[in-house]
Amino acid sequence: MGKMTTNINLTGHSIVLIIVIGLLCACNSATKKEEVKKIGSDTAVEKTDTVHIAKILPPKIFAPPELGFKIVGYMLDSRDSDEVAEKKFAQCNVVVYACAQVLKNNVVKVIHPKALASLVRRAHRNQSKAFLGISGYPSEFKIMTKSPVQRSKCIAQIMQLVRQYHADGVDLDWEFPTVKEKTDKPFTLFAKELGDSCHVNGQYYFSCAVAPGINKAKRASAIDKELLTGPWIDWFNVMIYDAYSIDKPYVQHSKVAYNSFYYWLRVRKMSKNKCVLGMPLYGRPSGIPQRGHVLSFKRILAEGGNPYSDSAIIKTNKPISAKNTARQYTIYYDGIKTVRKKTYGAKRFGGGIMFWELGHDVDNKYSLIGTAVKAAKIKGNNRKH
């Protein structure tokens, strides 16, 4: 009995302890709930703050999707786009408005806004990309690129125009920065900054027109190696033409494709997919004054030229010059066979082809752009989806 009593007393004591412990736990639990509420409230603030911080983080910079083999067609800014057949916009997967101008006081202006708006509409209607070309006098580029502030102001204007006209990218046509004039480094800085601006969230493309790299590469040496292999410029439109002479006859102004590709790809180590081979849709004479004697491919054929040849005899109504009384001259151009051959080479060694300019081509079976499209074995546009 006594043992049982002791057990009962102990059990009673245990019950009291249990009750006390229960009360303490309840108090602790209430306190913890308050702490949880407080912590939850703080967490919400932290989450809110985190979201707010995420909004002001710098955007990612990367290039838009690759376009595959590029067929780039420039169109002169003063040209009414209605002069260019609709199929040209479908055959090219990039059409460049050439160009908005960098003017005095760091102003970037579209001289022919209706032409640009029409070009963008027609390119997009044919599932092609529309680029805003940027050009101007070398002296204005030199002034603008000296200062980071001036570069920034210029780039802001360019990007505003891209958005305003719903373009897909920018093509920089500075002819030309040089080491001698010390515009090579400013050009590099400007190109990198403009490239980054285009590549914010992978939204816009950025291409650049460059010299062919012949004649001791005076105009090409200013293009820094980091631009050729780095992420800023998506591709380079190599202007493989205009290698003419006003003194020497028989100089074919666009027969320098091999030497140009060798220079850019082998000597300068340009990335293959960035090297776009430029071809002229016009002809030049040699050994005589150029003014009045440079003709479009369309005009050359109208004057009796052979579309498969690379030269033609052009008759004139008056003497060529005061010193040259001849009433005819030889003009040199890229005919169908040459365009086909160059396209094969670009497919093998490069990343695309480019034409200056769309209004110079014919719209029939002798079309040089049409020839290139067939040679590249492309049906319509060559696009990556």
* pLDDT score recorded for residue 36: 38
Q: Is 101 inside a domain boundary? A: yes
Distance, CA of 169 to CA of 130 (rounded, Å)? 7
Lowest pLDDT segment from 22-26, 130-134, 363-367: 22-26
146-195 pLDDT tens trace: 999 999 999 999 999 999 999 999 999 999 999 999 999 999 999 999 99
- Specify the pLDDT at position 197: 98
pLDDT at 13: 40
Q: Residue 9 domain-assigned? A: no
Output the pLDDT for position 51. 53
DSSP alpha helices (H): ranges in the chain? Answer: 2-56, 86-91, 113-125, 138-145, 148-164, 184-198, 225-229, 257-261, 297-302, 336-349, 368-375
Is residue 54 domain-resident? no
273: three-class secondary structure by DSSP: helix
Which pLDDT band, with edges at 50, 70 and 90, does 218 fall under?
Answer: confident
* 192 neighbors 142 (Cβ within 8 angstroms): no
Q: Decide if 311 is inside a domain.
A: no
Q: By the 8 A CB rule, do 175 and 138 touch?
A: yes
CA-CA distance, 335 to 275, in Å (whole number)? 22
Domain that holds residue 348: 70-281+337-375
Q: Is the pLDDT score of 333 beyond 60?
A: yes
- Residue 380: the pLDDT is 46
CATH number for position 179: 3.20.20.80
- Residue holding tokens 């101007």? 136
Asked, for residue 293, whether it belongs to a domain, the answer is no
Task: Please check the confidence at residue 327 and state whether its pLDDT lies above 50.
Answer: yes
What is the reported pLDDT for 54? 53
3-state secondary structure of 248: coil
Residue 20 has pLDDT above 50, yes or no: no
Mean pLDDT, to the nearest integer, of 196-207?
98
pLDDT-derived band at 323 (thresholds 50, 70, 90) equals confident
Largest alpha-carbon pair distance within the chain?
147
The β-bridge relationship of strands 282-285 and 295-296 is: antiparallel
Cβ distance 116 to 97 under 8 Å?
yes
What is the number of domains present in the chain? 1
Flag whether 296 is in a domain.
no
30 pLDDT above the threshold of 90:
no
Alpha carbon 118 to chain centroid, angstroms: 20
Residue 3: predicted pLDDT = 35
pLDDT value, residue 53:
54
pLDDT (0 to 100) of residue 40: 42
Nearest-angstrom CA–CA distance, 330 and 314: 6
Q: Quick check: is 144 in a domain?
A: yes
Residues 246-268: pLDDT tens digits? 999 999 999 999 999 999 999 99
Q: Residue 202: exposed, middle, or buried by beta-carbon count in 10 A (0-12, 13-18, 19+)?
A: middle
Mean of pLDDT over the chain: 87
Q: What percent of the chain shows pLDDT beyond 90?
A: 78
19 located within any domain: no
The predicted model scores a pTM of: 0.83
